[in-house]
Structure 1
Amino acid sequence: MIVISAASGAFGRLVIDNLRTRGDVVAVVRDPERAPEGVPVRRGDYDDPASLRVAFEGAGRLLLISSPELDSARRIGQHLAAVAAAKDVGVGAIVFTSFLGADTAATGMTEAYLATERAILDSGLPYTLLRHPFYSDAFVPQVSDGAITSSTGGRGLNTAFRSDLAVAAANVLTGEGHLGQAYDFTGPLWSYPEVATALGVTYRELPDADPGPMSWISAQVRAGALERQTPDLERVLGRPAETVISRVLGRHLPRVP
């Protein structure tokens, strides 16, 4: 039996959609009324360790989807409770959606992921770590007044679409040869100027807006921090990952003269 935690979120729903014909799947959610349809549902709340032990019981493989909590200390507590519950009930293997670079930095947004990876290793459970990049879904360029704009300095982004990462997770959960592996997933490198060229529109570089998450990410892009490439995602997918340019061309091409 495959158990998917945080299954009511966008990523969890996509993973379940990819697993419906691959075996027994159980959705674990905080609010059963928001659970995906068509699969058995169990209540499991990252803030309620007792509920997690019940929810994870009998799992041959558990997909531990990272908590959406933004506070690192609280997120770490939630993740460690989930790992402890998985160990307590003897989960067969745990697959964790970590973050790209979590193994190299212990500050900022990677802190909770690194702490969780270490807890999984210390648990002694068989594991696979899926280190995700930023989702392309949040970065798809939009044409406005005949132009695409960004504050990225024309540098590359290694984002990947949530749909491809969900297929990869489903492949790991149902395939062989993945235990003990840590996959550093990156999507095909792309840039905003490249997308503008593909669409035949103007590209304009804009100054950063007010301080915030996107401003911080843009600064990371300008510094080249999102240009790392690995073959891991394509290898696990068994095919090339979808590119941002192909997605944008499909969405906008009819509007371009």
Structure 2
Amino acid sequence: MIVVSAAAGAFGRLVIDRLLTRMPAGEIVAAVRAPAAAADLTARGVQVRRGDYDDPASLREAFGGAGRLLLISSPELDPARRLSHHQAALDAARATGVGAVVYTSFLGAGTGGTGVTEAHHATEKAILAGGLPYTMLRHPYYSEAFLNLGLRTAVAAGELTDATGGRGLNTALRADLAEAAANVLTGEGHLGRGYDFTGPRWTYPQLARTLTEVSGVPVAYREAADEADGAMRWLNGQIRAGELEAQTGDLHQVLGRPATTLHQAVTAALTHSAA
């Protein structure tokens, strides 16, 4: 049996979609905070159990009988709160005899723990110390945060602006990462591994050219002053410093195919926004 924690979120649902193509629905458990919100999964034959990161007893109930657990990282942004959620899940996994844990970590968490990676690094250390068989899936930023409905605005204006200095981004589509997770959960040879997932590197000047190709409307690129606030301003600075340019072949390897290209992602985004 495979248990997916935080399964009511967008990523968890995508993973379950992939699992349903390769195993009986009754062997999949969706652990969610509010089971009523996952009635659609119940209708598809998936076992829906209450599994709330703030309620350790519910996690023990949700994880019972799991051969493998996909521990999807808590949406909590405060590192201490996020780590406490993950620790509760790991404690429950050990208490219930889960066979292996697959954890959705973040790029860089395997070597350090500051900022975005702080709770992920601490969770990876806890997994290693806990003794359960494991696989770490270190995700990049989701492409959907950048390649979304807003692209149609750029097409309408004939101009794409940003403050990244033309540096590269190694984002990946949530759907590709979900398929990779399903492959690890149902496949062999992944235990004891840490995968650093990256999608094909792209830049905003390249994105402007791709928008032109896909839409048939000329879209010019213009570098703008960084007027973002808070987290987005920090992220723009990270991109300008080249922190999102690292590349690995891990996602391609686990998928067994190339990750979705920028052209494919832009085509899907514009088609969706026009629907």
Residues 250 and 11 (structure 1 numbering): CA distance in 2 closer, same or farther, change over 3 Å? closer
1:6 aligns with 2:9: no
1:227 to 218, 232, 245: 245
Q: Helix, strand or coil for the counterpart of 1:95?
A: strand
Q: What is the CA–CA distance in structure 2 between the aligned matches of 1:4 and 1:250, rounded to whole Å?
A: 27
- What are the ranges of 5 or more consecutive residues in structure 1 without an aligned counterpart? none
Partner residue in 1 for 2:185? 173
Deviations 1:56-84 (Å, cap 9, x if unpaired)? Answer: 01000000000000111111111011011
- What are the ranges of 5 or more consecutive residues in structure 2 without an aligned counterpart? 213-217
TM-score by length of 1: 0.95
Partner residue in 2 for 1:32? 35
Residues 44 and 195 (structure 1 numbering): CA distance in 2 closer, same or farther, change over 3 Å? same
Q: What is the CA–CA distance in structure 2 between the aligned matches of 1:252 and 1:136, rounded to whole Å?
A: 14
- The equivalences for 1:1-257 within 5 A come to 1-23=1-23, 24-35=27-38, 36-37=40-41, 38=44, 39-140=46-147, 142=151, 143=154, 144-198=156-210, 199=212, 200-252=218-270
Moved more, 56-65 or 136-145: 136-145
Q: Helix, strand or coil for the counterpart of 1:159?
A: coil
Deviation, structure 1 residue 206: 1.4
Residues 32 and 102 (structure 1 numbering): CA distance in 2 closer, same or farther, change over 3 Å? same
* Bigger share in helix: 2
Amino acid at match of 1:110: T
Q: What is the CA–CA distance in structure 1 between the aligned matches of 2:231 and 2:104, rounded to whole Å?
A: 21
Q: What is the CA–CA distance in structure 1 between the aligned matches of 2:132 and 2:200, rounded to whole Å?
A: 32
Deviation, structure 1 residue 155: 0.4
Amino acid at match of 2:35: P
Any conservation in 2 of the 1:136–1:244 contact (CA below 8 Å)? no
Identity %: 64
Deviations 1:136-175 (Å, cap 9, x if unpaired)? Answer: 0111161241111111100000000000000000000000
Q: Helix, strand or coil for the counterpart of 1:156?
A: coil
Deviations 1:156-204 (Å, cap 9, x if unpaired)? Answer: 0000000000000000000010000000000000011001123241001
Q: Helix, strand or coil for the counterpart of 2:90?
A: helix
Q: What is the CA–CA distance in structure 2 between the aligned matches of 1:179 and 1:88, rounded to whole Å?
A: 20
Deviation, structure 1 residue 245: 2.8
Residues 251 and 139 (structure 1 numbering): CA distance in 2 closer, same or farther, change over 3 Å? closer
Deviation, structure 1 residue 108: 1.1
Deviation, structure 1 residue 251: 4.3
